[in-house]
Each structure stands twice: as C-alpha cells, then as structure tokens.
C-alpha cells in the first residue's frame, strides 16, 4: 500500500531552518516505520539521515517522534498509525542532520551518575563468585532493561527547558546501581542526584514512562531515587 509520510528535514550546512519533506512509500501495513523510512532513502532521497542498527528494538538507535510520540521506528507498525505519518527528530538535543541528533549531552548526563559498580577497596580481589539472592537481583531488574535510546529523556519537559538536568535515563542508570545489593556507591550517587541537576528536578509528568520502549517504570525509578536521597536509605 502507499503510505504518506512527512519528515522534518534539516541540513545545517545548507538550510536556514528545518523544512517538511513529503514522501510516499510503498510498504505493507505490517511493515514498520523504519521500513518506510528505508523506502524513502532507497528510492526517493538517499540523503535522508537517520540512525538504525539492530532494527528490532534492542540497540536503541532509532528513537524519533512519530505522530507526536517518542517511539522506536523499528518497533511501530504502519497499520497502527494515522496518515500522514509525521516524523521528527527527538527533542532537546541539537540536530546534526534530519533525524540524527547529537547524543553527547545525553551521554554526559549518563556519565555524571557514575554508572558502574562501586565496591569497597578491600573487595577488589581476583574475580570470584558473589552470591546474590533472587530477591536482591529482582530489586533492580527493571532498570537494567534500559537501551539508552533517549526516548525518555527527550520526552521530558523539564529536560527540554533545563540544560542542567541529567534527565530520566541517567537516573534510571543510577537506580540500577543504587539498588544493587553488591554496590557500595549509593551514597555518592545520591549526593550527585540530590544536586541541582538531579532527581528533584522531576515533576512526575510521566512522559518518560509512556515513552520507554522497554516498558521500564521510569517515573517510579526516579521516585525511588528521590525517596532514597531524602531518607538516606536504600
């Protein structure tokens, strides 16, 4: 079937401002938005820029705004969308070209929360098996599902407005360690997240939770981090 698509295009080397490109793509209803974008690239305009890699929702490269909502293009079917399908780059990060945004600020927020296991110095011995109960493991299972696609962070109105806020994804990745029974860096991270750009910026709009393609309860994770910071307990 023929599908109408509008894509917000922008090439900073030649365009003064973004413009809407209108295309028709010949794809099946059970195909995904990524297939339609491929169609446009292959047969209509090969200069269209977008990121994609695994093409089924694990690598997290192709988050974009599709009909007003942050989605992964490889996970949403054509038949589930109204036409014309309107596609824009995710918001809050500088556009490099078309649907490709600069992810550096996003990764900077991620790095800020020290997303790695912090252990006591005397624990640093040759690798040995550590015991973790099924309950302790379950405690942080949800936030380990993150694929760093930035769909949550770039759906957050606070993030759009406040360049200092680390954003939901960074907090999700901090949560993953704060609530890991093996980690000893909880206090350090909570201190960072109690600061100006931290978790208390969140106004629980729930956009992030709606946007997460992995179904992570992002807002809940942020609330748990806030609570831990307030009561100094994990």
Partner 1 sequence: MAEHETHEFDVIVIGAGGAGLRAAIEAQAQGARTAIICKSLLGKAHTVMAEGGVAAALGTVYSEDNWEVHFRDTMRGGKMLNNWRMARIHAQEAPERVLELEDWGALFDRTEEGRILQRDFGGHRYARLAHVGDRTGLEMIRILQQKAVAMDIDVFMETTIVRLLKDGDRIAGAFGYRRESGKFVEFKSPAVVLATGGVGKAYKVTSNSWEYTGDGHALGLWAGADLIDMEFVQFHPTGMVWPPSVMGILVTEGVRGDGGILRNGSDERFMFGYIPEMFRAETADDEEEADRWYTDRKGARRPPDLLPRDEVARAIVAEIKEGRGTPHGGVYLDIASRRDPEYITRRLPGMYHQFKELADVDITKEPMEVGPTCHYMMGGLKVDAETAAATVDGLFAAGEVAGGMHGANRLGGNSLSDLLVFGCRAGRGAADYARAVDVRPEASANQTEEVAREALEPFERTDGENPYLLQQRLQDKMQALVGIIRVEDELKKGLDALGELKQRAGRVTAEGNRLYNPGWHLALDLRSLLATSEAIALAALERKESRGAQTREDFPQTDPELGKINIVLRMKNGEPYVDRSPLEPLPQDLRSVVERSL
Residues in contact with partner 1 by CB under 8 A are: 11-14, 27-28, 30-32, 35, 38, 41-42, 45-61, 75, 77, 96-98, 100, 102-103, 107, 111, 114-117, 127-134, 136-137, 140-141, 144-148, 177, 180, 182-183, 215
Smallest separation (angstroms) from partner 1 to the CB of 204: 26
Task: Note if the bond before 181 is cis, omega within 30 degrees.
Answer: no
Nearer to partner 1, 68 or 127 (CB): 127
Smallest separation (angstroms) from partner 1 to the CB of 217: 14
Nearer to partner 1, 52 or 91 (CB): 52
Smallest separation (angstroms) from partner 1 to the CB of 197: 18
Smallest separation (angstroms) from partner 1 to the CB of 161: 25
């Amino acid at each position: 079937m023929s599908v109408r698509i509008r894509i917000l295009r922008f090439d900073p080397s030649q365009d003064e401002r973004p413009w809407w490109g209108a295309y028709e793509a010949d794809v099946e209803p059970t195909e995904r938005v990524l297939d339609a974008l491929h169609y446009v690239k292959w047969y209509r305009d090969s200069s269209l820029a977008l990121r994609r890699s695994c093409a089924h929702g694990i690598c997290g490269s192709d988050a974009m705004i599709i009909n007003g909502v942050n989605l992964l293009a490889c996970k949403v079917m054509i038949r589930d969308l109204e036409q014309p399908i309107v596609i824009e780059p995710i918001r809050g990060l500088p556009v490099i070209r078309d649907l490709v945004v600069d992810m550096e600020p996003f990764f900077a927020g991620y790095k800020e929360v020290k997303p790695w296991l912090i252990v006591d110095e005397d624990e640093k011995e040759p690798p040995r098996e550590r015991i973790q109960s099924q309950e302790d493991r379950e405690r942080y299972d949800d936030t380990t599902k993150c694929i760093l696609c930035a769909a949550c962070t770039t759906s957050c109105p606070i993030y759009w407005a406040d360049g200092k806020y680390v954003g939901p994804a960074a907090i999700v990745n901090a949560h993953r360690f704060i609530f890991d029974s093996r980690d000893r860096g909880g206090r350090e991270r909570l201190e960072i997240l109690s600061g100006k750009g931290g978790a208390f910026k969140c106004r629980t709009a729930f956009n992030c939770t709606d946007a997460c393609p992995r179904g992570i309860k992002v807002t809940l994770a942020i609330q748990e981090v806030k609570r831990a910071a307030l009561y100094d307990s994990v």
